[in-house]
Amino acid sequence: MAYHDNEWGVPSYDPHHLFEMLLLEGAQAGLSWSTILNKRDGYRRAFDGFDAYRIACYDQQKVSQLLTDPSIVRNRLKIEAAIINARCFVALVDEHPGGFAQYLWEFVGGQPTQNAWTRAEQVPTSTPGSDAMARDLRRRGFKFVGTTICYAFMQAVGMANDHTTDCFRYPQILDFSHARGRVPKAR
């Protein structure tokens, strides 16, 4: 509940937070989001605070260590995907002049998509933007970034306001998004 009330859907332009959420959404595949939230502190500790540059240097010894850590989901494919994704993140940051945040926000035109769902059943599991994001991330070598994962990521980091219109957060996120405007350029 605290995650929904304080974090979910708030537009994030912090590349470190965006990277964390992308890894957590990938770890969630096939599991409940509450499982990942309950292990979030464990992930932060096990994955060096989601420092992509440190994770990119992990070797097989580190993978073996992570596979014994009960504070995270001990799935070899997901652990190895996190390392691959960190390496892809580093390459993307080096290649993209606007940085990771600007790259991701380009999939929604630089500002949050403001939906107006009246019922949770109306919320889609993917959109053309999440489809395009998934395709491009996979082209760049990222793993566990299918269209559903990308859309869940976009919802979590505020690229899409998918709070239902009767949710107290809907107008708050709408106001926050309008006040914030477009994603800033990286420095």
* Gap between the Cα atoms of 56 and 78, Å rounded: 14
CB neighbours of residue 129 within 10 Å? 19
**Domain containing residue 85: CATH number:** 1.10.340.30
Q: What is the pLDDT at residue 172?
A: 85
Cβ 26 vs Cβ 149: under 8 Å:
yes
Query: Based on the structure, what is the number of domains in the chain?
Result: 1
Question: Is 64 part of a structural domain of the chain?
Answer: yes
Q: Which domain holds residue 139?
A: 2-180
Question: Is 151 part of a structural domain of the chain?
Answer: yes
> How far, rounded to the nearest angstrom, does the alpha carbon of residue 67 sit from its chain's CA centroid?
22
In 38-142, at which residue ranges do the beta strands (DSSP E only) sit? Answer: 113-114
Question: Is 187 part of a structural domain of the chain?
Answer: no
Cβ 39 vs Cβ 73: under 8 Å:
yes
Active site residue 33: yes
* Gap between the Cα atoms of 9 and 3, Å rounded: 10
Q: What is the pLDDT of residues 89-103, one digit of tens each?
A: 999 999 998 899 999
Catalytic residue among 7, 13, 20, 25: 25
Catalytic residue among 33, 80, 106, 117: 33
Q: What is the pLDDT of residues 8-37, one digit of tens each?
A: 999 999 999 999 999 999 999 999 999 999
| Number of alpha carbons in the 13 Å side-chain half-sphere of residue 112 | 29
Active site residue 121: no
Question: Is 119's pLDDT higher than 80?
Answer: yes
Nearest 5°: the CA angle 82, 91, 83 is 15
Q: What is the pLDDT at residue 181?
A: 54
Q: What is the pLDDT of residues 127-177, one digit of tens each?
A: 999 999 999 999 999 999 999 999 999 999 999 999 999 999 998 887 766
Question: Is 118 part of a structural domain of the chain?
Answer: yes
Q: What is the pLDDT at residue 180?
A: 61
* Gap between the Cα atoms of 131 and 32, Å rounded: 22
Question: Is 12 part of a structural domain of the chain?
Answer: yes
Question: Is 186 part of a structural domain of the chain?
Answer: no
Question: Is 53 part of a structural domain of the chain?
Answer: yes
Active site residue 25: yes
Question: Is 83 part of a structural domain of the chain?
Answer: yes
Question: Is 73's pLDDT higher than 70?
Answer: yes
Under the banding of pLDDT at 50, 70 and 90, the label for residue 179 is: low
